[in-house]
């Protein structure tokens, strides 16, 4: 028998509280997106380029600091890094809220991004959950990010309509302080900081991950996806207000409608991709849809119903890609290197967000709204061309198994593990007394694997991606 597949109360508390901390922070970042293009134009010194830079600026400092902050948390502890990052984020909100010029808002957004705590939170999740429940905890955080994005798209315009752009930024600071309270009062403190290869960066795996062509395609893709998102938020709020005639205070219902319908539409696509093992087909279809929605937005700008329909299609494609690409990374990343691959992937995502804001603002300033949408379409087409060269990913699941300490230094253990039916890749990490394994669950002989890893004992396992 395996250990009971039930999270303990401490694990549930850790997962729920850390998911909430992550959500509050992302909510603060996202709330600005639907309002900065319309309200930011009233700031002193505002230009399309500077507004675009302010929209994506958080990604620049996030990209540079996320991996270093994660490594710092290995040395000084997770909670000090997380609390410090949230304090920086709160300070950024105050700086932007008090700003009367676009330059002040830009400085505040750069500060907000400097609170780069994503890697530290993921590492703390790994410290506070057993192997067999870690994926559930990570999934809770993933769902909290999606929920925070949906809430932010509605809350941003509503708060801005009531309290202005400054009110939005002050709200982000309050959310950061709530996150600090959760970390200090609710999140359990781990007995010891551990380094998990599936949740943190491994120095020896860094260069191989950068050289992996399949991972490079994913990194390019996530950078383009978030560049498109930031560039679109330079143009979409302005198109809704200036072309379709919808007051900026009422934009919330457009985003709410688009996100609700897109969530409904994406579920069957994701189920099809995973169960029928057709991820490549679904991903390429979503990229094509991204490319097609851009000229449609341009051509329907003066029709509110047409523009809303195009926004729904855009968010459907975006949500499908946002949900499936991490699963692809988990399948492609070599055994024991998922944390490193995810760190590079996240850095690419934030770098794409920064570049997308700059690109959207620059193109809008020179070529107008239509230029932004056409530029986004060309970016999506470039991704489609690169994505078409990828193969179907291996449909494998990642496991981290505790290894019997007596066996961990047995040089023949790795060969015996690889001989188990269904095992595709494996490495043995002696210092962790653990094996990182990738398996095809449809072929895996789990009982044989248990006998090989820890004969005569019960072993625990993680649940996959």
Q: Which helix (H) or strand (E) element contains residue 435?
A: strand 434-439
The predicted pLDDT at position 360 comes to 97
The predicted pLDDT at position 1 comes to 35
User: Is the same domain home to 145 and 242?
Assistant: no
Residue 111 in domain: yes
Tokens of 112: 């907000």
Q: Can you give the residue range of the structural domain that contains 30?
A: 8-187
Q: Within 10 Å of residue 5's Cβ, how many Cβ atoms?
A: 11
CA distance 397 to 9: 26
Residue 41 in domain: yes
User: Is the same domain home to 388 and 260?
Assistant: yes
Boundary (domain end) residue, out of 187, 222, 253: 187
CA distance 194 to 452: 25
DSSP 257-312: HHHHHHHHHHHHHHHHHHHTT-HHHHHHHHHHHHHHHHHHHHHTTT-HHHHHHHHH
Boundary (domain end) residue, out of 394, 415, 438: 394
Residue 460 in domain: no
The predicted pLDDT at position 459 comes to 40
Residue 198 in domain: no
- DSSP label at residue 407: T
User: Is the same domain home to 251 and 272?
Assistant: yes
User: Is the same domain home to 100 and 17?
Assistant: yes
User: Is the same domain home to 410 and 388?
Assistant: no
Supply the CATH number for residue 412's domain: 3.30.70.100
Residue 332 in domain: yes
Supply the CATH number for residue 375's domain: 1.20.1250.20
Residue 159: Cβ-neighbour burial (10 angstroms; 0-12, 13-18, 19+): buried
- Long-range contacts for 259-268 (Cβ within 8 Å, ≥24 apart)? 259/149, 259/150, 259/153, 259/315, 259/319, 260/150, 261/312, 261/316, 262/312, 262/315, 262/316, 262/318, 262/319, 263/146, 263/150, 263/319, 265/316, 266/316, 266/319, 266/320, 266/323
Q: CB–CB of 96/183 below 8 Å? A: no
User: Is the same domain home to 308 and 416?
Assistant: no
Tokens of 325: 């690409």
* Sign for the pseudo-dihedral over CA of 183, 56, 323, 383: negative
Q: CB–CB of 186/198 below 8 Å? A: no
Residue 19 in domain: yes
Residue 459 in domain: no
User: Is the same domain home to 293 and 333?
Assistant: yes
Boundary (domain end) residue, out of 377, 394, 411: 394
Q: Within 10 Å of residue 463's Cβ, how many Cβ atoms?
A: 17
User: Is the same domain home to 215 and 324?
Assistant: yes
CA dihedral 25, 31, 37, 40 (to 10 degrees): -80
Tokens of 63: 């990209």
User: Is the same domain home to 253 and 346?
Assistant: yes
User: Is the same domain home to 164 and 73?
Assistant: yes
Tell me the H-state helices in 388-445.
413-418
CA distance 454 to 266: 41
Tokens of 439: 């398996």
User: Is the same domain home to 178 and 46?
Assistant: yes
Q: For residue 355, report the phi and psi dihedrals to the nearest 5 degrees.
A: -65, -35
- Give the pLDDT of the chain (465 residues) as one tens digit per residue: 344 467 888 888 988 999 999 889 889 889 999 999 999 999 999 999 999 999 999 999 999 998 899 889 888 889 999 999 999 999 999 999 999 999 999 999 999 999 889 888 988 888 888 777 777 888 888 888 888 999 999 999 999 999 999 999 999 999 999 999 999 999 988 877 777 777 777 777 888 888 999 999 999 999 999 999 999 999 999 999 999 999 999 999 999 999 999 999 999 999 998 888 899 999 999 999 999 999 999 999 999 999 999 999 999 999 999 989 988 998 898 888 888 898 999 999 999 999 999 999 999 999 999 999 999 999 999 999 999 998 889 888 888 888 877 787 787 888 998 999 999 888 888 887 888 899 888 888 888 888 888 665 444 444 444
User: Is the same domain home to 139 and 254?
Assistant: no
The predicted pLDDT at position 456 comes to 52
Could you give the number of structural domains in the chain?
3
> For the chain, what is the radius of gyration of the CA atoms?
23
Q: Which of 417, 268, 393 is nearest to 333 (CA)?
A: 393
Residue 57 in domain: yes
């Amino acid at each position: 028998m395996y250990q009971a597949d039930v999270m303990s109360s401490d694990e549930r508390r850790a997962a729920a509280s850390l998911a909430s901390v992550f959500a509050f922070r992302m909510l603060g970042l996202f709330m600005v997106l639907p309002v900065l293009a319309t309200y930011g134009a009233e700031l002193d010194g505002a230009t399309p380029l500077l507004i675009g830079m302010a929209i994506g600026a958080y990604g620049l400092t996030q990209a540079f600091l996320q991996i270093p902050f994660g490594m710092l948390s290995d040395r000084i502890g997770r909670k000090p890094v997380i609390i410090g990052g949230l304090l920086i984020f709160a300070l950024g909100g105050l700086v932007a809220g008090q700003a009367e010029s676009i330059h002040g808002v830009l400085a505040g957004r750069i500060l907000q991004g400097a609170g780069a705590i994503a890697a530290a939170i993921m590492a703390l999740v790994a410290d506070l959950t057993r192997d067999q429940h870690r994926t559930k905890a990570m999934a809770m955080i993933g769902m909290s990010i999606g929920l925070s994005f949906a809430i932010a798209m509605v809350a941003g315009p509503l708060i801005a309509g009531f309290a202005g752009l400054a009110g939005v930024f002050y709200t982000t600071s309050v959310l950061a302080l709530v996150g600090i309270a959760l970390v200090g009062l609710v999140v359990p403190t781990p007995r010891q900081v551990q380094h998990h290869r599936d949740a943190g960066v491994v120095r020896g795996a860094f260069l191989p991950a950068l050289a992996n062509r399949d991972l490079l395609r994913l990194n390019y893709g996530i950078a383009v996806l978030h560049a498109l998102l930031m560039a679109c938020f330079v143009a979409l709020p302005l198109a809704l207000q200036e072309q379709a005639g919808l007051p900026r205070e009422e934009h919330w219902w457009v985003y709410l409608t688009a996100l609700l319908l897109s969530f409904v539409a994406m579920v069957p696509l994701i189920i099809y991709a995973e169960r029928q093992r057709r991820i490549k087909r679904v991903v390429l279809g979503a990229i094509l849809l991204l490319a097609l929605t851009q000229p449609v937005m341009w051509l329907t700008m003066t029709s509110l119903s047409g523009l809303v329909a195009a926004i729904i299609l855009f968010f459907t494609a975006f949500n499908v890609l946002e949900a499936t690409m991490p699963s692809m990374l988990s399948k492609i990343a070599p055994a024991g290197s998922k944390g490193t691959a995810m760190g590079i992937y996240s850095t690419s995502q934030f770098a794409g967000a920064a570049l997308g804001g700059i690109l959207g603002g620059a193109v809008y300033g020179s070529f107008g709204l239509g230029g932004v949408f056409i530029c986004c379409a060309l970016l999506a087409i470039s991704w489609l061309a690169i994505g078409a060269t990828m193969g179907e990913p291996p449909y494998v699941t990642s496991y981290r198994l505790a290894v019997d300490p007596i066996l961990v230094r047995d040089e023949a253990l790795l060969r015996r593990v690889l001989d188990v039916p269904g095992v595709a890749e494996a490495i043995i990490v002696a210092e962790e007394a653990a094996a990182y394994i990738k398996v095809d669950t449809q072929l895996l002989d789990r009982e044989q694997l248990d006998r090989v890893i820890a004969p005569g004992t019960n072993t625990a396992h993680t649940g996959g991606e």
